[in-house]
Amino acid sequence: MSFYWVKTNAIIRKLFSNYIWLLPNNEKKIYLTFDDGPIPEVTEWVLAELKKNNAKASFFCIGKNIEANPDIFKKIINDGHSIGNHTYNHLNGWKTSTENYLADIEKCENTIIKSACDFKRSTPQLFRPPYGKIKTGQTKRIKSLGYKIIMWDVLSGDFDQKIAKEKCLDNLIQNIEPGSIIVFHDSVKASKNLKYALPKVLDYLNNNNFSYARITAESFTNSKL
């Protein structure tokens, strides 16, 4: 049986307050995020769905996937979405030395810059640890480099092949609130649940007067945090 928190509770957010879990606001803004791309078909499908709904999002990209699919990566940027670093090799921080982890993040960052020469990186830069697993020492080093570490308020569970697609959708609709940072995965593994849940949650958000925002430097200055 898989176990993870669908909704990150206030105690976790307080204990790990050096991470960004949500971005409270009075405008019903929510923050869609997508991890693990870019990959053919799935990322392209996500971009098409977002465009249909005039929705902006933030993509936490794996460096080796950027390198393999530079045209899709450029399309993410050209469509107006923001970019975050998700390591080059999708490393588990708990199982990786700090030096190797930092080197992998740097390799991903260099790939981002190389793959989109005209792309201006935001300040602060965005980082999300794969699996949400990161050591305290890694956190300190990453933040010292100018990154904001972005976690999440609502985890869709689209990656979990043991749950029904309807449950994935329910995870979202029952837990979204203004300021929620919502995690999807533009990966083959998640695609079945993703392709069911994303269009329906976009409909739900539209019908309930939520608005979409990218995570950028302005997100932190405008938030009620």
**What pLDDT, on a 0 to 100 scale, did the predictor assign at position 118?**
59
Cβ-based neighbour number of residue 111 at 10 Å: 21
Chain Cα centroid distance, residue 6: 15
Q: What is the pLDDT of residues 76-92, one digit of tens each?
A: 999 999 999 999 999 99
Report domain 10-222's class. alpha beta
**What pLDDT, on a 0 to 100 scale, did the predictor assign at position 77?**
93
The answer to whether 160 is a known catalytic residue is: no
The answer to whether 90 is a known catalytic residue is: no
Angle at Cα 38 formed by Cα 129 and Cα 162, nearest 5°? 65
Q: What is the pLDDT of residues 105-133, one digit of tens each?
A: 999 999 999 887 656 666 679 999 999 99
Cα 159 to Cα 45: distance, rounded to the nearest angstrom: 16
Q: Which two tokens mark 40?
A: 């053919």
Question: Which segments in the chain show pLDDT lower than 70?
Answer: 1-3, 117-123, 222-225
- Active-site pick, 104, 153, 185, 186: 185
Paired residues of 148 in beta bridges: 126
- Active-site pick, 35, 36, 104, 153: 35
